[in-house]
Amino acid sequence: MTFHFVSFHGLKNTRWSHIYTLCLKSCKKRAGADKIIVHYDQADDNLAWYEARDISDIEWCQVSPPTLIGDKIIELPEVSIDLYRLRILEEEGGFVSNLDFLFLRNFEKLRHAEAVIGIQCKQKKKLCNNLIGAVPGAEFIKEFKHQYEECIRTGPMNRLLKYSSSLAWDLSMMYNVVILDRKVLYPVAWSNKNFWSGSVPNIKHSFAVHLWESYYPDLTLETLKKSGLYSEVVRITNDATDQVPSVTRRSGILTFE
């Protein structure tokens, strides 16, 4: 129940966001984390950063982003972040997550597997690596990292941004990993325009909601308050808690009641 978050906003030339601070607050209040660690490359000086640093019981670990694979320069910040996350997961285990999630429920039910990952699109056979859990040294993670590094060495890196989701699907057919139904972590599709105008999503079975910052780089706390998650933002702010739903398995995919 250790949660790792990676923020290389210095590498990306972006700022620490209030969305990230909300993510950490929701993880602390809702996910049942024993430990939360933020791996970052550069301190910020804005209000959202200082609010995040004021959250108690969070470890902050300043690190250097990976910039080379052999003699190949890692040109894209997103690729550097993904590679670092896979390395941390292989070495230390726990959950590794993007900072654009809103956590809703205790993750205790999700931790009893060698590895766990969520569906992005079942029809297109894509899994999303924005939130993955695993024990240290999980074979699925080791092979994922190995093939990811090979792709960096041999192919154009911009291909990796789309290919990684298909790669994860292919590897899940060969290694021990629990696949979570899309509604568990990704109940809101990135293309769901109605959500941002206030349409309330079905999050009855969701442990977290991904906010797709890569598709909405201008996402702010005010924007989120206008979305269908406004009530959840208020409840997290007020420290409300939820019951942990029961779990069932259908057709090899973990679902929740």
Tell me the CA distances in angstroms from 39 to 19, 43, 78, one per residue in order: 16, 11, 15
With beta carbons less than 8 A apart as the criterion, state whether 148 and 161 touch: no
Tell me the CA distances in angstroms from 42 to 8, 46, 106, 117, 130, one per residue in order: 7, 12, 30, 28, 21
Predicted confidence at residue 206, as pLDDT, reads 92
Question: Once rounded to an integer, what is the mean pLDDT over residues 146-153?
Answer: 88
Predicted confidence at residue 239, as pLDDT, reads 58
Predicted confidence at residue 251, as pLDDT, reads 40
Query: How is residue 107 written in tokens?
Result: 């993750």
pLDDT tens digits, one per residue of 150-179: 888 887 767 776 778 888 999 999 999 999
SS3 216: coil
Q: Is the CATH number 3.90.550 carried by domain 2-256?
A: yes
Judge if pTM exceeds 0.85: yes
Predicted confidence at residue 172, as pLDDT, reads 92
pLDDT tens digits, one per residue of 221-256: 888 888 888 888 888 877 544 443 434 444 445 444
Choose among 90, 95, 92: nearest CA to 106.
95
With beta carbons less than 8 A apart as the criterion, state whether 118 and 184 touch: yes
pLDDT band of residue 93 (cuts 50, 70, 90) is very high
